[in-house]
Amino acid sequence: MPQANPLLSIVVPCYNEEEGLRECHSRLTSALDALCASQYEVIYINDGSRDGTGEILRSLHAASACTRVVMLSRNFGHQAAVTAGLTTARGQSVVMIDADLQDPPELIGEMLELWRQGFEVVYGVRESRAGEGRFKLWSARVFYRLINRLSDVEIPLDSGDFRLLDRRAVESLLSMPERHRLLRGMSSWIGFRQIGLKYARAPRFAGSTKYPLRKMLNLALDGIFSFSTVPLRLVTLLGLVTAGMAAAGILYSLVVRIFTTHWVAGWATLILAVLLMGGVEMLCFGILGEYIGRIYTEIKQRPLFLVREVLEPGAPSSLDRRELQKHLDPVV
C-alpha cells in the first residue's frame, strides 16, 4: 500500500551520454519537481563511459541534493547497469528511464497515478518511434513477435525498459540472480498487477545509439534463450524428422540393391545429403551451445556488475569503496 509521502527513485543508466546528460537532468528534475507529491532520488549509473559522462555526473551530484551516482568499474551493459541502479534504489516505487530523453520524463506523473491506483508494474508502450531507422523498427517488431511465440511469458508488444516498478516488483527482480538479463521480460514474468501506458517515443536528444547491431542481437538472443526451451524441442523434432528420412533412405537403397541391377548411386545426391546433414547438425550444436554457454556463465556465479564508487545524495565526497561494496552487494 503506498505511504502518504513515499520516496520515488529514478534509475538512469548512462553510457557515453555527455552530449545530452545535462539536458536530461534538467528535464527530469523539472518534471519531478512539478509532481510535488513525492520526494524523489535520481540515481545515475555510469556504465564505464569513456567520454566526459563521469565528470558531468560529478558536477550534477555536487549541484543537487537528491542525486546519487554509481560508477561501475567498466562497461557491463545496459541491463546490468539498470540492475545496479535497482540495487541502490530505496524508493517505494522505482522508474527506469534512459538518459537520451527518448522516453518523456513528463510521463512519470501518469505512471505514479496508476501506481497509486494499485498497479505494481506500469510499463511504457511505444505507440510511435520517431527518429529511428527502418531496420531498428523492423527488427524490434520481429523481436517482440518471435519472443512471444517462443517463450512462456508474454512480453507486451513494443514495451521497452521505460517503466515504473513497485517496491515488491523491484525486490522480485533482484531476487532473480540470472546473468543474462532481459529486464522487460523478467518484469513481465514476475506477474503482479501490470498495465501499459502508451506514449510517443521521441528521437534521441543528442549523441548516437549505444545499441549497435551486436548488442541488439545479444539482447534478442538473451530474450529467446533465457525465456524459452522451444529451440531445444525444435532440435529434437528436427532429429526425429531426419532420422525418419534416413530410415526411409536405408530401406530404399536396400530394396534397390537387392531387387534391381542398376544400383550405382549418383554422386550429387550423396554430396547434397552429406552437406545438408552437416549444416543441420552444426545448427543443432549451435543451439545446444547457446544453452550450455549460458549454463557456464551462470555457474561461475560472478557478480552482475562491480562498483568503483558511489556518490551519495548530499554527501560531499564519495564513500569508501569497501564500505560501499558492503551495502551494494550485487544481486546474490
* Residue 59 CB coordination number (10 Å): 13
What's the N-to-C CA distance of the chain in angstroms? 27
Q: Does 102 engage in binding with Mg ion (CB under 5 A)? A: yes
Residue 108 interaction partner, one of ligand UDP, Mg ion, none, beta carbon < 5-8 Å per kind: none
Residues whose CB is less than 8 angstroms from the CB of residue 2 and which lie 6 or more positions away in sequence, other chains included? 92, 93, 115, 116
| Residue position matching grid coordinates 531387387 | 259
Q: Is 124 in the site for ligand UDP (CB under 6 A)?
A: no
Q: Smallest distance, Å, CB 219 to ligand UDP?
A: 9
Task: Look at residue 211 and give the partner it binds from ligand UDP, Mg ion, none, a contact being a CB closer than 5 to 8 Å depending on partner kind.
Answer: ligand UDP
Q: Does 100 bind ligand UDP (CB under 6 A)?
A: yes
| Cα 317 to Cα 314: distance, rounded to the nearest angstrom | 9
Do 107 and 197 contact (CB within 8 A), yes or no? yes
Q: Which of 41, 100, 120, 166 binds Mg ion (CB under 5 A)?
A: 100
**The pairing of beta strand 39-46 with beta strand 93-96:** unpaired
Phi, psi of 232 (to 5 degrees): -65, -40
Among 25, 78, 167, 179, binds ligand UDP (CB under 6 A): 78
- Binding at 47: pick from Mg ion, ligand UDP, none (beta carbon under 5-8 Å per type): ligand UDP
- Minimum distance, C-beta of residue 244 to ligand UDP, in the bound complex (Å): 44
20 binds ligand UDP (CB under 6 A): no
98 contributes a contact to ligand UDP by CB under 6 A = yes
Q: In angstroms, what is the minimal distance from the CB of 14 to ligand UDP? A: 5
What is the spatial distance between Cα 35 and Cα 106, in angstroms, rounded to a whole number? 9
314 sits in the region (left: phi over 0; alpha: psi -120 to 50; else beta) called left
Q: Which is nearer to Mg ion, 18 or 98 (CB)?
A: 98
- Residues near ligand UDP (CB under 6 A), total: 16
**143 in contact with ligand UDP (CB under 6 A):** no
Separation of alpha carbons 243 and 144, rounded Å: 33
Least distance to Mg ion from the beta carbon of 99, Å?
8
Query: Which one among 143, 192, 205, 211 touches ligand UDP, defined by CB under 6 A?
Result: 211
**Max Cα-Cα span within the chain:** 94
Name the binder of 124 from ligand UDP, Mg ion, none, CB < 5-8 A by kind: none
C-alpha cell at 186: 523478467
H or E element at residue 201: strand 194-201
The least CB distance from residue 186 to Mg ion, in Å, is: 20
Q: What is the nearest approach in angstroms of ligand UDP to the Cβ of residue 167?
A: 23
Q: Which of 29, 87, 102, 188 binds ligand UDP (CB under 6 A)?
A: 102
Q: Which of 87, 69, 86 minimizes the C-alpha distance to 314?
A: 69
Q: Between 14 and 56, name the residue whose CB sits nearer to ligand UDP.
A: 14
Closest CA to 34 of 99, 97, 104: 104
- Binding of residue 41 to Mg ion (CB under 5 A): no
User: Is 13 a residue that touches ligand UDP (CB under 6 A)?
Assistant: yes
Cβ within 8 Å of residue 185, ≥6 positions away: 147, 151, 153, 155, 223, 226, 227
CA–CA separation, 242 vs 244, rounded Å? 5
Pick one of ligand UDP, Mg ion, none as the site partner of residue 166 (Cβ within 5 to 8 A by kind): none
Closest CB to Mg ion among residues 24, 311:
24
Could you list the residues that contact ligand UDP (CB under 6 A)?
13-15, 17, 47, 75, 77-78, 81, 98-100, 102, 209-211
Binding site for Mg ion (CB under 5 A): 98, 100, 102
